[in-house]
């Protein structure tokens, strides 16, 4: 019996990031109309949870911090096979940096139960700092590993293989622990129709900070965040592309001449 | 509490006895920032106290090298390393603390920041001192957006920086004196109860001529779909003395299976003089890894491909045929 939690973040669909612009007046990001999804890494975290439950038995709890609409992504996580889900949604926790986000998630986890393993995506698709899992581990005072490419369990703990300089490094973590998985960790299974049908019947709670209780306001939301956002820039390429035209042979001549201009002496005759 | 002495610390991650290239980049940046902040100085921090790395860094224009030596620091374990850094920060109170956003740095920096309850700017592409505050340039949304992150009150101000993006060579010492070597007290590690057991290191099979350091790169996208076009990509790179890289979708074609030479947000940022993109569409998550390349040539059969907006020269055509022609000219 393994008690497993999975952190799932609702993110704007990465397929649309090219369309993000900056409002010249307000200097804020315009991302209207971009649908929300479960980030890719979080799907792999869910899959890792399902695999651990297949092997050991147990229960999967999904936790999230986000706007009320993030409920839909939690419903989807239940349809993927999780057992219950909790969302904390409150102005007080909004505008959080990663320290405040991980604090809030640690409170939500503490409120909902005790866990042997907490899985997370290694990095979200939008903010993509890859901080939250490690910082969650610190708030909870437990072991954690990031950049994980494989997870399994033995009787002494969790075995994780993670990215390292020049290769991979294997560790055994004492449980409970937080494990941040990369998409390399597994292949996400197809959804099972029975899970999809059962999802609506499963427990899904949306809570305010007061519902969670026992939270220290000085670590919450924008006010509790040591890092702040200054100006935001949208990246447009500064390149001016010159198209090379002609026959294949003529194009090749031009390419060779550009290349030789760039690799003075470096290339073979 | 002791007053902050405005030291700018650089975490000197070592591998096989040498500081990683990103450490030099960070020290160069720290020297630049220090030049703008009166009374500030630069220091490097080495855990494990590798003597080769110490002498390597001693030739640089830095004020101090902080070391902590203990057998518990032999193999990297995040909780032990972070506790060691927390101890050093609490004892010596730096104003800034920079890390390379390497596999280790991406885990160790947020852990240390959380222990210290301070802010951390993530995998920055630049650090800019504007005379009043340090703006850490953090990319998000697959590289489409860059945000200035700053840390007004908490200390130290922490940032991790993407390897290969700053460039820059640190200034060497102008005098013959060595930086002051400060050995931090490691005795507490004797009782440290780590929750991590290091089991083994599995070196990657790959040669370690890293794409992020290559001057010339030929990169394959999903449009490199035939055996011949893939051979052409590899031959061209070999002819140019360059490296081969690829997009994420190219991995899906099954011709390569690892991300060590993948370009993009989840992969490597290049700093090449010349990049040749072959059959790459130019998704934001890819092009944010190529912004620093000096000259970019892209070959794509679709005249509307986004990759052309990120290129100096574009060729509309078939990958295999164009490369055939180029290789013939170079034969
Ligand atoms: C442009 C921009 C730049 C930013 N730069 C920084 C910065 O440099 N430093 C900083 O501290 N903050 C920064 N932030 C804020 C940061 O994105 C938020 O704190 C966010 O709530 C959590 O970080 P993340 O999305 O980067 O998560 P990551 O750490 O990348 O997420 C990893 C995993 O943690 C879990 N997780 C993360 N957030 C949640 C959630 N809300 N609910 C459930 N699970 C979750 C998921 O499993 C996720 O896959 C930035 C935000 C933006 C928009
Ligand atoms: C969270 C997240 C992170 C990501 N991180 C990364 C990352 O780090 N790196 C990365 O690369 N991607 C990343 N992606 C994926 C990215 O969005 C794109 O899907 C990917 O870069 C596309 O790769 P591609 O250009 O090779 O393939 P495609 O988009 O399929 O493009 C293939 C191109 O080849 C052209 N072509 C086809 N046949 C030929 C031919 N015979 N001759 C010439 N041209 C031809 C086509 O016109 C097309 O433009 C990420 C996505 C997400 C959601």
SS (H, E, C) A25-93: CCCCEECCCCCEEECHHHHHHHHHHHHHHHHHCEEEEEEEECCHHHHHHHHHHHHCCCCEEEEECCHHH
Are the beta carbons of A172 and B312 separated by less than 8 Å? no
Angstrom distance (rounded) from CA B190 to CA B325: 65
**Distance of CA A125 from the midpoint of ligand 1 (Å):** 9
Angstrom distance (rounded) from CA A43 to CA A62: 12
Angstrom distance (rounded) from CA B109 to CA B160: 7
Q: Provide the 3-class DSSP secondary structure of residue A202.
A: coil
H or E segment to which residue B218 belongs? strand B216-220
Pair of tokens at residue A99: 């320290």
**Distance of CA A7 from the midpoint of ligand 1 (Å):** 12
Pair of tokens at residue B83: 């506790």
pTM of this prediction? Answer: 0.89
Angstrom distance (rounded) from CA B111 to CA B82: 6
Q: What pLDDT digit, counting tens, does each position of B46-91 carry?
A: 998 678 899 999 999 999 999 999 999 999 999 999 999 999 999 9
Instruction: Enumerate residues 6+ apart whose C-beta is below 8 A from A241.
Output: B298, B308, B309, B311, B312, B313, B314
| DSSP tally for chain A: helices H, then strands E | 7, 15
pLDDT at B213: 85
CATH 3.40.50.620 domain span(s) along chain A: 2-219
Q: Which of A168, A200, A18, A146 is nearest to B101 (CA)?
A: A146
Under the banding of pLDDT at 50, 70 and 90, the label for residue B5 is low
Angstrom distance (rounded) from CA A4 to CA A53: 8
For B211-330, give the CATH class.
alpha beta
| Nearest by CB: A171 against B111, B141, B197 | B197
pLDDT at A3: 98
pLDDT at B136: 98
H or E segment to which residue A260 belongs? helix A248-262
For Cα atoms A107, A225, A95, give the angle at the middle one, nearest 5 degrees.
85
To test ligand 1's pocket by mutation, which of B149, B150, B157, B266 has the most ligand atoms within 8 angstroms of CB?
B149
Residues of chain A with pLDDT under 70: 262-269
Instruction: Enumerate residues 6+ apart whose C-beta is below 8 A from B231.
Output: none
Q: Which of B12, B159, B4 is nearest to B92 (CA)?
A: B4
Mean pLDDT value of segment B249-269: 89
Distance from CA of B55 to the nearest CA of A (A): 21
Angstrom distance (rounded) from CA A161 to CA A124: 20
Give the binding-site residues of ligand 2, using a 6 Å CB cut-off.
A 14, 40, 125; B 142, 221-223, 225, 247-250, 262-267, 279-281, 283, 285-286, 299-302, 305, 318-319
For β-strands A228-234 and B145-150, DSSP reports them as antiparallel
To test ligand 2's pocket by mutation, which of A9, A12, A14, A126 has the most ligand atoms within 8 angstroms of CB?
A14
Residue A43 CB neighbours (<10 A): 21
**What does the CA dihedral B237, B142, A233, A95 come to, rounded to 10 degrees?**
-150
Q: What pLDDT digit, counting tens, does each position of A124-180 carry?
A: 999 999 999 999 999 999 999 999 999 999 999 999 999 999 899 999 999 999 999
Would you list the domain boundaries of chain B? 7-191, 211-330
Helix (H), strand (E), coil (C) string for B114-173: HHHCCCEEEEECEEEECCCCEEEEEEEHHHCEEEEEECCCCCCEEEEECCCCCCCCCCEC
**What angle do helix axes B105-116 and B78-92 make, rounded to 10 degrees?**
50
Pair of tokens at residue A256: 């060779």
Cα torsion angle, B163, B164, B167, B172, sign: positive
Angstrom distance (rounded) from CA B319 to CA B316: 9
Q: What percent of chain B has pLDDT over 90?
A: 83
Angstrom distance (rounded) from CA B31 to CA B44: 11
* Average per-residue pLDDT for chain B: 93
Under CATH, which number does the domain B7-191 receive?
3.40.50.620
* Location of structure tokens 């290049």: B270
Pair of tokens at residue B62: 């830095």
pLDDT at A81: 98
pLDDT at B208: 54
* CATH superfamily for domain A2-219: HUPs (3.40.50.620)
pLDDT at A265: 40
Give the binding-site residues of ligand 1, using a 6 Å CB cut-off.
A 7-9, 39, 41-42, 45, 64-66, 96-98, 101, 105, 120-121, 123-124, 126-133, 227; B 120-122, 138, 140, 145, 147, 149
């Amino acid at each position: 019996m393994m008690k497993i939690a999975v952190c799932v973040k609702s993110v704007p669909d990465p397929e649309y990031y090219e369309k993000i612009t900056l409002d010249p007046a307000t200097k804020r990001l315009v991302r209207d109309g971009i649908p929300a999804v479960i980030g890719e890494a979080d799907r792999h975290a869910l899959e890792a949870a399902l695999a651990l439950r297949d092997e050991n038995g147990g229960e999967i709890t999904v936790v999230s911090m986000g706007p009320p609409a993030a409920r839909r992504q939690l419903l989807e996580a239940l349809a993927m096979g999780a057992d219950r889900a909790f969302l904390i949604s409150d102005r007080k926790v909004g505008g959080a940096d990663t320290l405040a986000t991980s604090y809030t998630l640690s409170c939500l986890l503490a409120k909902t139960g005790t866990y042997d393993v907490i899985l997370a995506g290694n990095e979200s698709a939008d903010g993509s700092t890859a901080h939250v899992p490690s910082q969650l581990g610190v708030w909870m005072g437990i072991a954690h590993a990031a950049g994980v490419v494989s997870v399994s369990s033995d009787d002494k703990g969790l075995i994780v293989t993670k990215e390292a300089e020049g290769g991979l490094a294997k560790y055994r973590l004492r449980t409970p622990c937080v494990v941040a998985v990369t998409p390399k960790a597994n292949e996400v299974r197809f959804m099972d129709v029975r899970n999809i049908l059962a999802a609506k019947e499963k427990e899904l709670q949306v809570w305010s900070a007061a519902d969670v209780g026992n939270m220290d306001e000085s670590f919450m939301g924008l006010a509790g965040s040591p890092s702040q956002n200054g100006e935001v820039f949208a990246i447009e390429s500064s390149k001016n592309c010159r198209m090379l035209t002609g026959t294949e042979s003529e194009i090749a001549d031009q390419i060779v001449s550009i290349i030789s201009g760039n690799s003075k002496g470096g290339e073979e005759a | 509490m002791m007053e902050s002495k405005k030291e700018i610390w650089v975490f000197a991650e070592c591998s096989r006895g040498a500081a990683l290239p990103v450490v030099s980049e960070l020290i160069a940046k720290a020297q630049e920032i220090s030049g703008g902040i009166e009374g500030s100085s630069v220091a490097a921090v080495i855990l494990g106290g590798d003597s080769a790395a110490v002498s390597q860094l001693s030739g640089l224009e830095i004020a101090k090298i902080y070391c902590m030596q203990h057998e518990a620091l032999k193999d990297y374990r995040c909780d032990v390393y972070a506790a060691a850094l927390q101890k050093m920060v609490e004892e010596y109170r730096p104003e800034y603390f920079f890390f390379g956003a390497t596999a280790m740095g991406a885990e160790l920096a947020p852990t240390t920041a959380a222990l210290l309850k301070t802010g951390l700017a993530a995998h920055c592409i630049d650090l800019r001192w504007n005379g009043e505050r340090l703006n850490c340039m953090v990319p998000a949304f697959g590289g489409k957006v860059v945000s200035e992150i700053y840390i007004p009150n908490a200390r130290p101000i922490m940032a991790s920086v993407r390897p290969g993006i700053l460039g820059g060579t640190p200034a060497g010492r102008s005098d013959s004196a060595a930086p002051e070597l400060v050995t931090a007290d490691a005795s507490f590690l004797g009782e440290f109860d780590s929750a991590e057991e290091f089991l083994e290191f599995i070196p990657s099979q790959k040669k370690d001529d890293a794409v992020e350091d290559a001057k010339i790169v030929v990169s394959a996208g999903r449009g490199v779909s035939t055996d011949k076009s893939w051979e052409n990509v590899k031959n061209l790179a070999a002819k140019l003395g360059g490296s081969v890289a690829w997009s994420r979708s190219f991995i899906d074609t099954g011709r390569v299976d690892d991300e060590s030479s993948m370009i993009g947000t989840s992969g490597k940022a290049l700093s090449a003089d010349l990049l040749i993109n072959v059959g790459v569409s130019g998704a934001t998550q890819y092009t944010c890894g190529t912004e620093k390349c000096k000259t970019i040539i892209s070959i794509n059969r679709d005249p509307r491909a986004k990759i052309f907006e990120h290129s100096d020269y574009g060729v509309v055509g078939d990958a295999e045929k164009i490369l055939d022609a180029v290789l013939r000219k170079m034969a």
